[in-house]
Amino acid sequence: MELSDSSGSSSTVTQSMCHVRASELYPKRDLETDESPPTLEPPLVPFVPLAGESVEYLGRGANNTVLALSNYRFYLKVSNEGSKRRRGIQDSNIPLGLIEMIEIKDLFYMIISCKDSRTCRCTFTTNDLCLEWYKRLTRVIVSPKNVQDVFAFAFHAWAIEDQCNEDISLNLGHDGDDDYFMKEIERLNISVQSDNSKWRISKVNWDFKLCASYPNRLLVPSCITDQTLEAAAKFRSSKRVPVIVWRHKGNGAILARCSQPEVGWLGWRSSEDEDLLKAIAESCQNKSKKPKKLIVIDARSYPSAVANRARGGGCECPEYYPGCEIRFMNLANIHAVRKSFHLLRQLCASPPDLPNWYSLLENTRWLHNISGLLHAANTVAATIEFEMQPVLVHCSDGWDRTPQIVSLAELMLDSYYRTIDGFRVLCQREWLDFGHKFADRGQGEDPNERCPVFIQWLDCVHNVMSQHPCAFEFSKTYLVKLAQHTYSNLFGTFLCNSGAERKRTGIGTATFSVWKHLAASAECKNHLYSSQPDNVLWISCNVRDMNLWRDLYVGPFTDGPQLTKPTEICNSILGMEGVIDPIIRIDQPIVINSEGPCIEFTKPEDIISLDEKDDKSSDTNSSSLSSIIAEENGIERHSSPTNCILNTVDGLLPLVDDVQNRLRQLILEHKTREAALQNELHVTRLVLLRQASHRCNGIEATTTPDVNGLSLADRTDDDQHRRRDDIVVGTCGVVRCSANPVGTGSRSYPVYVVRQQVLAGKAEASL
């Protein structure tokens, strides 16, 4: 660019863009409002938008409900008039990232199914309006091709530019460059600096050159070179080589993770991989004891592991790994877990008065899968704690069932991971840095890749917390919030499939972190927490001991009794008989879906054992709702009081936890009472010191108190008394109390006799 100065000469200068405004990078769209009936006023936006949030569509549904769609959420506001509020029906506030599927039922009903098992039903006056809102929602829930189009980037840019408000500035932050890796090495007493160390930190994967789904630094035995790691990685699926993630500080047993070996039908082997597993077992060997075996925990069943050999996978052959013992956990794969979750969501959306509700819950096999995961974690924890043997955990690829088992075992063995900061470190290492595919599992374009693996693990943590309510620093609200924000797209913590992708897109600095938001939230702290550093949590993993995560899947109880049966209400409104008992008899309705033109519902008799079938179908049929969900049923989850204020940080409704709310109230009352006692103690101390000052000055105390319970001497020459109070406070060492108190009643005070002597310019008090 050429510029001319005053002398007429020209010079070439280089201009660079110093700042791009958020309004230019993420512009807000104009509001489009549907035409309202002449008898109604135009609707208003029912919530306060967050930074960078813009409401794009606003309209009305049936029964005078208000619908609002922004670039962050879908909001359904129930009318304040009518019987719905009296029956406890509340507003629905759903982030767009949580929406998994949208269906149209019977022309006028739009049903929204969420990834956290919630279900929302919208009723419209016309079919055209229903189709229009269906198209709007279908368009905005499609996964963006560019990750920077996610709302988390716009939220961050606008919040930074607007300087945030006080709540946002105190509750939001970045993941930053927290070097938890070295802190964990030091905390677990893993020596990597000395010459005779058993372990070392390898940088063979620096800049993700070896494995894109592994962290930069790997903890391996010191006798294993980088060349051996590279050769062993070629023998493991996706090059996910065995590495150490945790060590028992008491007995020295270690916990490692990897993916399946690529044995294949021909029985391939790798000497480098065999040496690596042998070195892992020897790294925790005690010279005074017998040699230890490496216990390999395979999350699959033995038939599934053998069947994987047809696709180039398999399991460790005992003849090639003589120092290893293999144990199979028989856990369901992602396809069975996805089908189980869809059946659970279908059940939670059904009427609450079904007489066989628990039988249908058993048919979903969801609690059975939770029990299996906890049993596998118990096995790992017992092997390390009691048998004192090193453990290696893997499944097929090592990024689904493997982090579930490893992180649960660490949670049971190490009390640090049960704190708020420790839980963050646990999720960061085992789930984020070791490459769980959050993008594919939650918002992937391929339905076969979707599966609520992380939600299932949080459900396991919830069951552990239910059996040990005082062992965790965070509350159940913490887990619910974490489950919601896993897919809400408000934070960048769980975007992308690996740390390499997050680093390449700059998510760490261009979005906010969910961890600071949860740590700063008062409702996420467990007031029953009792720190026990060396306590190991043992879980009763029987199916009968499992609890359904009601706070997430079903929601709290609605306010007020329900005097009319939901089936009678719904049938009277729709003019249809028997449609509310659809899980018992279904008429196979036609449903429009974003994933296909038509969907059929699944009958209960079609439900089969999830462990008997290892299919790759998308299971979309089973995910469809089998019933019309009436608003009058009171099944709008996460309900709260009608006039409840949304959270100023994430824009969601606050969760209800009566136990924690009562504990917070008791803590506040205790602090108030303590402050009152301290104030009364301070006043009493001043009164006593004034009496001592009076006696030192030769003033006789009278026994006639005033209305405040103070004697005449206490009210004589107040200024002089204050000056003497300072002297008495600093110099009175021993005070003798007389038998005759001053004053009467509850405010009577004893008379103190103090004799002052002036020695060397210093006032002293003695008996």
Residues that constitute the known binding site for substrate = 333-334, 395-401
Residues designated catalytic: 395
Evaluate whether 435 touches 498 at the Cβ level (below 8 Å): yes
| CB atoms near residue 602 (< 10 Å) | 20
E strand segments, 529-626: 591-593, 596-599
261 DSSP assignment: B
The three state secondary structure string of 50-103 is: CCCCCEEEEEECHHHCEEEEECCEEEEECCCCCCCCCCCCCCEEEEHHHEEEEE
Q: Is the dihedral of CA 727, 732, 738, 740 positive or negative?
A: positive
E strand segments, 115-172: 119-123
Element (H, E) at 324: strand 324-328
User: For residue 113, what are the β-bridge partners?
Assistant: 101, 119
CA atoms of 294 and 254, how far apart (whole Å): 10
CA atoms of 224 and 513, how far apart (whole Å): 36
Element (H, E) at 374: helix 366-385
CA atoms within 13 A on the CB side of 450: 25
54, 249, 401, 451, 651 from 405: Cα distances, Å: 41, 20, 6, 17, 33
Residue ranges of the annotated binding site are: 333-334, 395-401
Tokens for 225, please give them.
């070179």
29 DSSP assignment: P
| Distance from chain centroid for Cα 121 | 26
Amino acid at 675: A
Only one residue has tokens 């006023």, namely: 41
